[in-house]
Chain A
Amino acid sequence: MRYAVSHATTLEYAAPVQLAQFNVRLRPASWPGQQVSDYALALDPGPAQVTDGDGGYYVNETRFSLREPISRLRIDSRFVVEREALPFYVTAASGPVLSDLRERAMRLPDLSALGPASYIFASPLAAPERDIALWSSGFLSDAMPVMEAGRALMTAIHDQFAYDSGATAADTPPIEAFHARHGVCQDFSHIMIIAARAHGIPAAYVSGYLRTLPPPGQARLVGVDAMHAWVNLWCGEELGWVGFDPTNAILADTDHVFIGMGRDYSDVAPLDGTFRGSSQQTMLFSVDVAPLD
């Protein structure tokens, strides 16, 4: 599948803010089965300086600063992406059992942003939660192969939690969403990450997009109107990272467009930064992922 992706963000400030600086993480990092072309980032007003860099984890980070005070900023990110279907050897695989997977993850001499070691420990927004660990122990065990464990986890979340875009805010702790049994893709992904890590499965937060309109005759997926998030589990050296989407209870496949991955949302946040002052901010955005073929 080929898609034209466009993502427009508008920030507005009640009063002009000074020395505003931003990190934008919207340019897709390279990912198997995905080819990106014609990436363009447009900023209005134009910044004093733009630097492309690496976000530490597996994500592209574009930094820019504005000299003049601003009361409004528009960020337009566009690209075309070719997405291949997940190969059969992944969808049909079962992977190592959890007790074996843990030891493999500990042994692999890979400190890179794609190595499992970086995604197995507590992170700022996904700290260990005993309640989530106990809950997931109900359907995970050491003898379970990792692909089965991933499917069991995402299915459990999909079945037991209600999608409710008004129920949580961006900074709602995952444990609150867990107890309330509702949330959005960000909450579900964090809950799944905490549960997976509780069993020693390396788990990463993926930021990306879903195709907006379903193929004819199929239902619209949940989470198409904004950026989407799902979970990458490390499934051993052979399978590597496999995407599980707990919001829709499906593997990340041709409908999913990968932007970047980190330990949790804070590593891959599409936009963050600082300014001087304390003006009220509002953000509007629109996302469109349109099939080209």
Chain B
Amino acid sequence: MSLVSPSGPTDLIGPAAGWLDAYPVAVSGGDLFGDAAEPIAAHWHKVAAGLSLLAEGDPSALQDAATRHAADLGLTFRVTGDEEERDWPLNAMPLVVGSAEWAEIERGLIQRATLFERLAADIYGPQRLVREGHLPAAVIAGSPYFARKMPGRAPQGGQGGDGHFIQVYSADLARGPRGHWRVLQDRVRMASGIGYALENRLAMTRTGGTVLADNHVRRIVEFFGQMRAGMVAACGRESPRIALLTAGRFNQTYAEQAHLARYLGFPLVEGRDLSVVEDRLWVGTIAGPKRVDAIWRWINTDALDPLSFDAKSRLGVANLFEAWAGGSVGMVNWPGTEVLETPAFAAFMPRLCRVLLGEEPLLPNIATWWCGQAAESATVAARLDELAVLPAFGQPVEGLSRREPVAASELSGAERTALLEALSRRPMDYCGQEIVKLSTTPAIIAGELAPRPFTVRAFVARDADGAWRVMPGGFARLSSAKALPTSLMGEGDLSADLWVIEDQPGAGFQPVRAAGTPPISRGGGILASQAADNLFWFGRYNERAQFVTRLLRALLDGSVEVDGGLSASTYDGTGDESGVLQALVDMLVESGAVLAPPPGQPAAATCAAALGETQLPGGVAALLRRRQAVGLSLRERFARDFWRLVSRPMPDFDLHRPASLLGAVRTLTEHFSALSGLVSENMVRSAAWRFLEIGQRMERAQGICRMVRRLGELAEAPGALGVLLDLCDSQIIYRTRYLTGPMPGPVRDLVLLDPDNPRALVFQIAGVVEHLAALPSARDDNLPEPPMRAARALLGEVQAATAGDTDWNWIAGIEARLLDLSDAISSRYFLQFDPDEAEKRTPVL
């Protein structure tokens, strides 16, 4: 056992530390650890030893810790075509790369980024490369991302300088058997993975403790600061508003986009939040429209503006084109730059590097031939068996079932014939590519270190001076299949963190330079109307689910001791209460939790139906699902603990065991309490919090009215008022205040009119008034806006009422006015159209 430990805590480690000693280094393929020279090999051992110490020698324990930390961060992803999000598969064993090796990669990446900037500037500018024959017109025109309307529209920089076409560039890197790094694919359209790289590092920092610092692992957070500063500088004005434009919560990497937006402090917006008025871009907020200076787009160019590009796109913003073309909105990256991403383009990169930069490529892409040229097409056909074939422009083509490269030698005879036939008719659709054998790296698989082929996505961004910076780290993807990865994460893949470690401790390791102190600010930033709408509904669904759960608890508590039949049930042991139970069931039906049950159906069966109901709108499971759906688009606003609670699955229950039903209901009750605790103790008192609260209070007010209306009718039945007090959590106050059992007048006063009872109707309305008063006004004259006037009128009426006034008609009137108030809030603060309509920006015919 050769444990190399230059210094420090690794000396303390026992035999279990030699994780890497038992690691089977692949003989032929190349291995990141196996090939490492000193002193990096020593660092591998030191890292492994440090991690082993934390996990008491058990790789599984380390992996469990990393998985737990990743889950705590709320990391998820979606495989294309999947409905559900999946847990993030982070492998606890990082990749270790020495700083000297990394410096080479950095130089190569910066050269490529520089080249891409020049290429974009030519294609969307003078088009000299095409005219002079360095680049076939078809290589540009063949890309589905070539934006025909963009030539002649160059970005304008801040302070009158030239702007940048490319602000963020990323590349998938492969390490070949002999340790050469190659670019598999260039990316300028979206920097997917950049947020996951950050989250992986956060999770590994929590998992690895001091191991990172002990090994002088370079920090990556500064990179994000530099990238942000670069985007800010490009806007050319102080404190610009930069928004991250997402395709929405069903996008594959929505979770990543939400994390990234929160980390960078950018509002996360969808196309429908935005509008262009007189060539300027605005985001609708609860305080009226606010100017947006720049967009970091996470949608394709052709979806950005339905008027200038794809008329069917519902993701973009009408006239956004005019806003960026006129220079009033910065775009990261500039629309149309993704034309550079195609495999066909890769075939010309070495040559273009010489033409434009006068340099040889430092970090070449894997050898690629575009068949649109006769000589190259002949080469590919002749060497077919040693090459991979792929669509030249990332689009489906005849003879290839996928967009990924396929080794021609693996095709069947018929497939091969069909491919050659199609290739002869349309050679321009195909590229041949050298087959890459990926190096492996140690990964924790089933409790031990095993080699896994890997690729690394590296990220490059401009800093405040417009200079390129490379993230010292990256997003590593460990694949289980032999196929080259094309998407961020595939079925069965793992991700890992990449650690860049100084070759010589101390040398080149710079302490973090303190950034300038930012101006102090308070408040929660802007609140987009759409987000306010979602918060409001999140609050409503949450409260509605809670209301139904309370009804279920009342039903189950009363019936669980006996045999569960409604007719035979008793409540609180006092006589025949079937009227009360019937009222509770009626309320379930009125809430849309269940259909009217057949006479004689046991209460437990009705409760089980209401709990598990997903089709009717008022079932607990359905409400929690809707809450979750709305919550997804609010993810960047919620603390991780909060999100974890919200994502928790429904508790299990067994239909035939009333006790398990009651258990589920109690678990849910605790869930709601925990959530409301987090909201009241942890949520910043911003407008976002207020909309969440308004939604809850409006919903609770309606619930109280409904309960009093139903149960108040049964005042003669002694149990009815007790149930009402229970449902309104007011049993104890009542007992301390009154020596008698529940009486109609006192009960109504307590649950409707007592301003000190936080469960009373008046308390909810007072809360709404208070929150509305704290929201920004859209009026210059400071007169109250319509929702405020409606809320105050309602509050006045409830405050002035006495218990004797609160008959059935009075309550029905209050309920109707609550609905009006809800409409007034919607039309003032949310998008100007009802939620269903706002979804639809309809294309003409």
Give 10 CB contacts A-B under 8 Å.
A11-B845, A21-B318, A57-B148, A63-B307, A120-B141, A120-B142, A128-B429, A200-B425, A200-B427, A276-B833
Q: Given contacts A63-B307, A121-B142, A266-B311, are A272 and B398 in contact (CB under 8 A)?
A: no
Return chain B residues, CB-CB under 8 Å to A274: 306-307, 311, 318, 841-844
Q: Tell me which residues from 88 to 140 in chain A have a Cβ below 8 Å from any Cβ of chain B.
A: 102-103, 105-111, 113, 115, 117-118, 120-122, 124, 127-128, 130, 133, 137
Judge if A151 is at the interface, Cβ distance under 8 Å.
no
Identity of the chain B residue whose Cβ is nearest the Cβ of A111 in the assembled complex: B137
Task: Tell me the bound Cα distance from A20 to B318 in angstroms.
Answer: 10
Judge if A277 is at the interface, Cβ distance under 8 Å.
yes
Judge if B568 is at the interface, Cβ distance under 8 Å.
no
CB atoms of B837 and A277 under 8 A apart? yes
Q: Which of A107, A124, A198 contacts B310 (CB 8 A)?
A: A124
CB atoms of A281 and B837 under 8 A apart? no
Task: Tell me the bound Cα distance from A122 to B425 in angstroms.
Answer: 14
Task: Tell me the bound Cα distance from A118 to B151 in angstroms.
Answer: 14
Return chain B residues, CB-CB under 8 Å to A277: 833, 837, 840, 842
Q: Which of B147, B427, B428, B845 contacts A170 (CB 8 A)?
A: B845
Q: Which of B133, B307, B311, B372 contacts A106 (CB 8 A)?
A: B372
CB atoms of A198 and B837 under 8 A apart? no
CB atoms of B841 and A111 under 8 A apart? no
Return chain B residues, CB-CB under 8 Å to A56: 147-149
Judge if B382 is at the interface, Cβ distance under 8 Å.
no
Q: Given contacts A103-B374, A200-B426, A273-B307, are A118 and B318 in contact (CB under 8 A)?
A: no
Q: Which of B311, B426, B427 contacts A198 (CB 8 A)?
A: B426
Q: Tell me which residues from 160 to 207 in chain A have a Cβ below 8 Å from any Cβ of chain B.
A: 170, 197-200
**Which DSSP category, helix, strand, loop or mixed, fits chain B's interface?**
loop
Q: Which 3 A-B pairs have the closest CB atoms?
A: A56-B148, A117-B137, A117-B141
Judge if A84 is at the interface, Cβ distance under 8 Å.
no
Which residues of A line the B interface, CB within 8 A?
11, 17, 19-23, 54, 56-57, 63, 102-103, 105-111, 113, 115, 117-118, 120-122, 124, 127-128, 130, 133, 137, 142, 170, 197-200, 266, 269, 271-279, 281, 283
CB atoms of A271 and B127 under 8 A apart? no
Return chain A residues, CB-CB under 8 Å to B226: none
Judge if B397 is at the interface, Cβ distance under 8 Å.
yes
Q: Tell me which residues from 302 to 333 in chain B have a Cβ below 8 Å from any Cβ of chain A.
A: 306-307, 310-311, 318-319
Return chain B residues, CB-CB under 8 Å to A133: 398, 422, 425
Return chain A residues, CB-CB under 8 Å to B844: 11, 20, 22, 271-275, 281
Q: Which of A17, A19, A106, A113 contacts B138 (CB 8 A)?
A: A106
Q: B397, B422, B842: which has the most chain A beta carbons within 10 Å?
A: B842
Q: B133, B319, B372: which has the most chain A beta carbons within 10 Å?
A: B372
Judge if B136 is at the interface, Cβ distance under 8 Å.
yes
Determine how close the nearest CB of chain A comes to the CB of B275; give it in whole angstroms: 8
Query: Tally of A-B residue pairs with Cβ under 8 A?
Result: 134
Q: Which of B130, B311, B374, B841 contacts A276 (CB 8 A)?
A: B841
Q: Tell me which residues from 131 to 163 in chain B have a Cβ below 8 Å from any Cβ of chain A.
A: 131-133, 136-138, 140-142, 144, 147-149
Return chain B residues, CB-CB under 8 Å to A197: 426
Q: Which of A11, A113, A170, A266 contacts B148 (CB 8 A)?
A: A113
Return chain A residues, CB-CB under 8 Å to B447: none
CB atoms of B837 and A269 under 8 A apart? no
CB atoms of B311 and A269 under 8 A apart? yes
Task: Tell me the bound Cα distance from A201 to B58 in angstroms.
Answer: 64
Determine how close the nearest CB of chain A comes to the CB of B834; give it in whole angstroms: 10
Task: Tell me the bound Cα distance from A115 to B841 in angstroms.
Answer: 34
Task: Tell me the bound Cα distance from A3 to B255 in angstroms.
Answer: 59
Chain B 286-298 against A: per-residue CB contact (8 Å), 1 yes, 0 no? 0000000000000
CB atoms of A278 and B837 under 8 A apart? yes
Chain B 805-845 against A: per-residue CB contact (8 Å), 1 yes, 0 no? 00000000000000000000000000011000110111111
If A142-B424, A276-B837 are given as contacts, then 18 extra A-B residue pairs at C-beta distance below 8 Å, sorted by A number, are: A21-B318, A57-B148, A108-B137, A117-B142, A121-B138, A121-B142, A127-B395, A130-B398, A133-B425, A170-B845, A198-B426, A200-B425, A269-B311, A274-B843, A274-B844, A275-B844, A276-B841, A281-B845
Q: Which of A11, A102, A124, A128 contacts B397 (CB 8 A)?
A: A128
Determine how close the nearest CB of chain B comes to the CB of A260; give it in whole angstroms: 13
Identity of the chain A residue whose Cβ is nearest the Cβ of B132 in the assembled complex: A109
Q: Tell me which residues from 198 to 216 in chain B have a Cβ below 8 Å from any Cβ of chain A.
A: none
CB atoms of B841 and A275 under 8 A apart? yes
Return chain B residues, CB-CB under 8 Å to A128: 396-398, 426, 429
Task: Tell me the bound Cα distance from A198 to B426 in angstroms.
Answer: 7
Return chain B residues, CB-CB under 8 Å to A200: 425-428
Task: Tell me the bound Cα distance from A124 to B310 in angstroms.
Answer: 9
Return chain A residues, CB-CB under 8 Å to B422: 133
Return chain B residues, CB-CB under 8 Å to A279: 842
Task: Tell me the bound Cα distance from A56 to B137 in angstroms.
Answer: 16
Q: Which of A102, A124, A272, A281 contacts B427 (CB 8 A)?
A: A102
CB atoms of B428 and A120 under 8 A apart? yes
Q: Which of B127, B130, B306, B393 contacts A121 (CB 8 A)?
A: B393
Identity of the chain B residue whose Cβ is nearest the Cβ of A133 in the assembled complex: B398
Task: Tell me the bound Cα distance from A120 to B137 in angstroms.
Answer: 11
Return chain A residues, CB-CB under 8 Å to B427: 102, 200
